[in-house]
A and B are shown apart, each in its own frame.
Chain A
Amino acid sequence: MNAWIYEKRRLLLGVAAVILFFLVWEVIFSGLVKLNPLFMSKPSLIWSGFMYDLKSGKVLFELMVSVRPFLFGFIAAVVVGIVVGTFMGWRQKVGYALDPLMTALYASPLVAVAPLVIIIFGVGVPGKTFLIFVLSVFPFIFNTYAGVKAVDQLLVNVVRSMGGNDKDIYFKVIVPSVLPYIIAGGRYAIGRALVGILVGEFYAASAGIGYMIAFYGDMYAIDRMFAYILIMMVIAVAFTEGIRWAERAAFPWRVGM
């Protein structure tokens, strides 16, 4: 009961703070300070800019341009990451062999290859897809690897001792142990994939959410630019918090771990 009140209070305070933020922002630039539209905007202007682009179908169009390479790159990262990570955890020798190289690649700022990638693959879907793949594959590799290594040998023995075969061990122990690791990896990977799409679209593109932010920035259309920045923020928050929520819902047993 106490915890419930605490949670509600927290939520209320949070919502209030967000509303307050936008209100203060609006009020300040509605008289207190003269708004220089080439430099700053305010929520009401951003909203009407957003509605304008929404009605004309532009928002949806740009979204679609960004979504395709995102999906391709991310799905490839999931598949490759899980396969490589499983192999590394499953065969100790493979783990030994790949670990240092993967660690080096993971720790280094791989966005730095963006210029090269774009020169080789071009500014279209292939270039962005590859960039997103390169950036988001490593969290999947490492988390799968860690998950497979962390499988509790005792639990494997328990299932074996009760007559379980390899399939039982796989589905009743290994998959449930590793899955939360993979999903948590997905949470990190999403952020990196979004960086990939932004770099790709800032750097050289002719459409897409990232391109629009840069484009409206160049045009000093600050209200539209903010609208697309907020779209990007909403997408990012929806993804990360969505995964977090799914983690809590799907793995309630991890709460105490």
Chain B
Amino acid sequence: MATSTVEPSTYIAPPPAEETYYEAHEPTILGGGFILAVFAVWELYPAIFGLSKGMKLFFATPSDIIAALYSLLILNEKLPMVGTIWQHFNASTGTFLFGLGLSIIVALPLGVVLGRSQTVDAMFDPFITAFNATPRLVFLPIVLIWFGVGFWTVIAIVFLGAVFPLLINTYAGVKNADKLLINVVRSFGANEWQINKLVVLPNSLPFIIAGLRLAIGRAILGVVVAEFFGGTEFGLGVIMVQASQSYRVDILFAVLIIFMVVSLLITAAVKQIENRLSRWRPAKIKTF
């Protein structure tokens, strides 16, 4: 099993040879190639081997999906359900931003308080642990009863999804602030606010950004599932349910790909910010 990690040749090097184009770009070529291969098999399988009648209903080839994406996103054609894809996209984006924003407004101050006070922290800890461990989706039925079908239920689910990672990371970052540095600043006469500004905030910023990255992922997840069940008229999640019920697998996958691309773009962007902000930090400290 383990031989290759052990081989001295990997430890030292391959025999002397000029590096070829392939060697220089191996990860990209292999990674991109594999994705292309998956798409090729997916595209060609039904053409070559055929599909049973039942399966045909659930199948869309990459070309079908691309065609759907093109007609929906570029030509802005009407969906067989209601409205255009952009209307749904905007609805989901609104929910996402609203819910995420709300969670930021709540999580940051609360996180700082928890991080700075041992007593408050100890009292909140069981609740935060419990809510963070539980999939927030479990509260959907009660949220539906409290907020009624529609917009606010979806917002509540997105909020519940995003708030805990943000809260926990802010709290961890604040708590992690170096006691020595705090004392140094205090010895120069800094007050509580200045301590927060000079030491605590710069120290916790990378943690907060890492929390934000997690929160964004959870918020997107929240948008999807809340729109599945939340009863709003518009939203990409709504489209997915309706598309699958009417066997429009091409539309279903098209929306899935939109979600994927948006998630990857946002995650990558936040990751960039995170790396920039964490440069001073030794790599050892892990955020979660």
Contact = CB atoms under 8 A, between A and B. Distances in A.
Interface residues of A, number: 72
Interface string B104-146: 0000000000000011001111110110011101111110111
Interface string A139-174: 000000000100101001100100000100110011
A250 to B, nearest CB: 19
Looking at chain B, what size class is its interface with the partner chain?
Answer: 35 or more
A226 to B, nearest CB: 7
Interface stretch (A12-20, A26-34, A53-61, A66-74): A12-20
Contacts of A251: none
A77 B259 CA distance: 23
Given A17-B123, A99-B27, A226 B5 contact: no
Contacts of A156: 2, 5-6
A220 B141 CA distance: 10
A229 B127 contact: no
A108 B58 CA distance: 21
B217 interface: yes
Contact of B133 (A14, A109, A151, A191): A191
B1 interface: yes
A201 B124 CA distance: 31
Given A153-B11, A237-B129, A237-B134, A115 B35 contact: no
B14 interface: no
Nearest to B241: A115
A93 B34 CA distance: 11
Contact of B2 (A17, A104, A170): A170
Given A111-B225, A191-B135, A10 B125 contact: yes
Contacts of A237: 129-130, 133-134
**Among B125, B133, B142, B259, which residue has the most Cβ atoms of chain A within 10 A?**
B133
A114 interface: yes
B245 interface: yes
**Among A91, A104, A222, which residue has the most Cβ atoms of chain B within 10 A?**
A104
A99 B256 contact: no
Contacts of B32: 100
Contacts of B139: 229
Contact of B141 (A191, A213, A233): A213
Interface string A99-128: 111011001110111111011100000000
Interface string A194-215: 1100110011000000100110
B255 interface: yes
A236 interface: yes
B80 interface: no
A231 B101 CA distance: 31
**Among A112, A156, A194, which residue has the most Cβ atoms of chain B within 10 A?**
A112
A13 B119 contact: yes
Contact of B145 (A151, A174, A210, A217): A217
B150 to A, nearest CB: 16
A97 B130 contact: no
A213 B34 CA distance: 42
A227 to B, nearest CB: 12
A18 B135 contact: no
Nearest to B38: A101
A202 B122 contact: no
B198 to A, nearest CB: 27
Contacts of A195: 135, 137, 221, 225
B228 A14 contact: no
Interface string A77-96: 00000000010001101001
B82 to A, nearest CB: 17
Interface in B1-45: 1-6, 11, 26-27, 30-35, 38
A22 to B, nearest CB: 12
B6 A115 contact: no
Which 5 A/B pairs are nearest by Cβ-Cβ distance?
Answer: A217-B141, A115-B244, A108-B260, A13-B122, A17-B123
Interface of B: 1-6, 11, 26-27, 30-35, 38, 58, 118-119, 122-127, 129-130, 133-135, 137-142, 144-146, 217, 220-221, 223-225, 228-229, 237, 240-241, 243-245, 247, 249, 252, 255-256, 259-260, 263-264, 267, 284
9 contacts: A10-B118, A100-B35, A109-B263, A119-B247, A153-B5, A156-B2, A156-B6, A169-B5, A241-B133
